Amino acid sequence: MSSTSTTAGKARSANALDAAAWRRWLGHPWSLGLIGILAVLLVWQLIAGSGLVDKLFLPSPEAVWKAGSEQYARGILIKDLLASVGRVGAGFALSALVSLPIGIAMGCSRVICQLLEPLMGLIRYMPAPAFIPLLIIYFGLGEEPKILLIFIGTVFFNTLMIMDSVKFVPSELRETALTLGGHGFQIVTKVVAPFIAPQVIDAYRINMASAWNLVIVAELVAANEGLGKRISLAQRFLRTDEIFVGLIVIGLIGLAIDLGFRLLMRRACSWAN
Amino acid sequence: MHLSVSGVSKTFGHGPRAKLVLDDINLELDSGEFVALVGSSGSGKSTVMRLVAGLERSSTGSITVDGRPVRGPGSDRGMVFQKYSLYPWLSAAENVAFGMQLQGRPKREVNERTAYFLEVVGLSDAGRRLPRELSGGMQQRVAIARALAADPKVLLLDEPFGALDLQIRESMQEFLYQLWERTGLTALLITHDVEEALLLAQRVHIMAPRPGRIIRTVAAQLDRSNLAHLRVSRPFLELREELAGCLRSLDAGVPA
Ligand SMILES: Nc1ncnc2c1ncn2[C@@H]1O[C@H](COP(=O)(O)OP(=O)(O)O)[C@@H](O)[C@H]1O
Ligand SMILES: [Mg+2]
């Protein structure tokens, strides 16, 4: 009698445990996102498998996977990836390095702000891809025009976002430093810079997306290798599977960079969470 | 140390929009004194403090510390704001060390003084915590320790307990009084709370608004051996009522 009730109890508690585990799993912030991605993959597979759509237009997931593995085996994938990542890295690093001091200077000094803000506000609305012809005339078809395009396309947004973040530094924090014996430059390095660090990282994370857009556009126009170049070649040979590979790889890298910035934020600015 | 504010006025803005905020303010403060400035909100108390701290320039008159005119902020005049003044990315101990580091003091001295002043404000165990992990009262104690550690000649306190709950405010008042007795600091306290001013300061200046001016100065010679008793003692309550009534009549627009 007592033994049966314990077994029943055990079964019940095991069920409860399962339910709790499921709930915990579903409660994880990434679970639902994963489900969304899997659902799209499933629908894709179903449509491609049904034969309703021409294979030329919609390759199956396996075909895309095969095309990707083949590119990887031939070493093209890594080469393209490194070329694009290198351009984004160089152009964006330049943009980040230039925008930080200028943004802080604009945020701290009304004169510098009034001098530069209208100019930047104007250039910011010129679409960066429209600079490509000019950059090609100036710098030819090498790496410089692509790196500079990324620089031009992100430096103004970075600068203006950093400037804005400086304006939110509470005046008490600056004034406290002054009454503790701090001087002008110390206020910038010891008060302003640490305070805006989280917003700067966030600005970089957001504007990184434009950098990826721009590198692909630049490579579509003129390049020997790179993920964008691969996509435009694939179009010429009607290789939709390779286009899909390119798109997915670009998306995955973007996601990885975004996560990297979030991780950096959590590590470096734990006080701000 | 001698702080002197004489004939100081302050006007914000220019031309037709000029606004006289302070009119002919006179104050004296000697080493070891605790002086309070009481007035309703908007009467210009913070402006007086900011002028003394050197964060604003006076329109007329002079402010001197030991005979030398105040030209800007400096570590000889430490300041404690009402709130939001701890660096949120620094621990309590790092906040206390912050001013000394700005001054370029040797590392060993910084560490020793940090430990000492954390102990003085009773927060030796909280040194590693971030500001957001501290209560409002603890945060203000860290801010006071930070100001003291920078070794100012005078401590300027701008409604330091104004954002705290009543009970915590009372215990912070006792804390500040004991700190004053122990360390012999010199302090100028701003508050809108008559009780707080009478409890802590030997001299209380009452400010009237629009334009801000000192209309009355009271020497509060009270027996402060037990603040809890003082709060409910008859002479204290009478003085408090009188001054509170004075402030109320000012707010009601009745000429003092
Ligand atoms: N920077 C400023 N510009 C213009 N008006 C100011 C400025 N600072 C303070 N005031 C005005 O001065 C008056 C007194 O302010 P404040 O000194 O902060 O008073 P309190 O600290 O007694 O509340 C207020 O009417 C306020 O609007
Ligand atoms: Mg005030």
Task: Supply the ipTM of this predicted assembly.
Answer: 0.91
Indicate if A36 and A112 belong to the same structural domain.
no
Question: Is the distance from the beta carbon of residue B245 to the nearest atom of ligand 1 less than 6 Å?
Answer: no
Looking at the predicted structure, is the pLDDT value of residue A7 above 70?
A: no
B110: closest CA of chain A, how far (Å): 14
Give the end of a domain, one of A29, A50, A71.
A50
Q: Which residues from B are below 8 Å from A272, CB to CB?
A: 88-89
When divided into structural domains, chain A yields a total of 2
- What digits encode the pLDDT tens for the residues A44-71? 999 988 888 888 889 999 999 999 999 9
Percent of chain B with pLDDT over 90: 71
Indicate if A87 and A221 belong to the same structural domain.
yes
Does A155 map to a domain?
A: yes
pLDDT of residue A8: 56
Q: Which residues from A are below 8 Å from B87, CB to CB?
A: 173, 191, 194-195
Indicate if A35 and A134 belong to the same structural domain.
no
Indicate if A29 and A74 belong to the same structural domain.
no
Looking at the predicted structure, is the pLDDT value of residue B235 above 50?
A: yes
Q: Which domain holds residue A26?
A: 2-50
The pLDDT-based confidence of A32 (bands split at 50, 70, 90) is: confident
Can you say whether residue A27 is alpha, beta or left, with left for phi > 0 and alpha for psi between -120 and 50 degrees? alpha
Judged by CB atoms closer than 8 Å, whether chains meet at A179 and B84 is answered as no
DSSP β-bridge partners for residue B80: B157
Indicate if A256 and A130 belong to the same structural domain.
yes
Does A56 map to a domain?
A: no
Cα–Cα distance, B138 to B214 (Å, whole number): 32
pLDDT of residue B111: 96
Indicate if A69 and A167 belong to the same structural domain.
yes
Residue of A nearest to B79 (CA): A179
Q: Compute how many other C-beta atoms are within 10 angstroms of the C-beta atom of residue B30.
A: 12
Residue of A nearest to B152 (CA): A180
Give yes or no for a contact between A57 and A241, defined as CB atoms under 8 angstroms apart.
Answer: no
Task: Report which protein residue has its CA nearest ligand 1's atom 26.
Answer: B42
Question: Is the distance from the beta carbon of residue B169 to the nearest atom of ligand 1 less than 6 Å?
Answer: no
Task: Report which protein residue has its CA nearest ligand 1's atom 3.
Answer: B12
A166: closest CA of chain B, how far (Å): 15
Indicate if A43 and A81 belong to the same structural domain.
no
Does A55 map to a domain?
A: no
Best mutation target, B71, B101, B102, B128, to test chain A (most A CBs within 10 A): B102
Ranges assigned E (strand) in chain B: 2-12, 19-30, 34-38, 60-65, 68-69, 77-80, 154-158, 187-191, 203-208, 213-219
Q: Does B53 touch chain A (CB under 8 A)?
A: yes
Looking at the predicted structure, is the pLDDT value of residue A222 above 90?
A: no
In this prediction the pTM is: 0.85
Q: CA B178 from chain center: how many Å?
A: 15
Does A81 map to a domain?
A: yes
Question: Is the distance from the beta carbon of residue B47 to the nearest atom of ligand 1 less than 6 Å?
Answer: yes
Total residues found in chain A within this entry: 273
Residue of B nearest to A170 (CA): B84
- CATH code, domain with A131: 1.10.3720.10
B 54-113 residues inside an 8 A Cβ radius of A: 54-55, 72-75, 77-79, 81, 83-85, 87-89, 98-99, 101-103
Average pLDDT of the segment spanning A247-267: 92
Pocket test for ligand 1, best of B10, B37, B46 (most atoms within 8 A of CB): B46
Can you say whether residue B197 is alpha, beta or left, with left for phi > 0 and alpha for psi between -120 and 50 degrees? alpha
More confident residue, B164 or B110: B110
**Ligand number nearest to the C-alpha of A171:** 1
Does A205 map to a domain?
A: yes
Indicate if A266 and A162 belong to the same structural domain.
yes
Indicate if A41 and A71 belong to the same structural domain.
no
pLDDT of residue A12: 63
Indicate if A29 and A133 belong to the same structural domain.
no
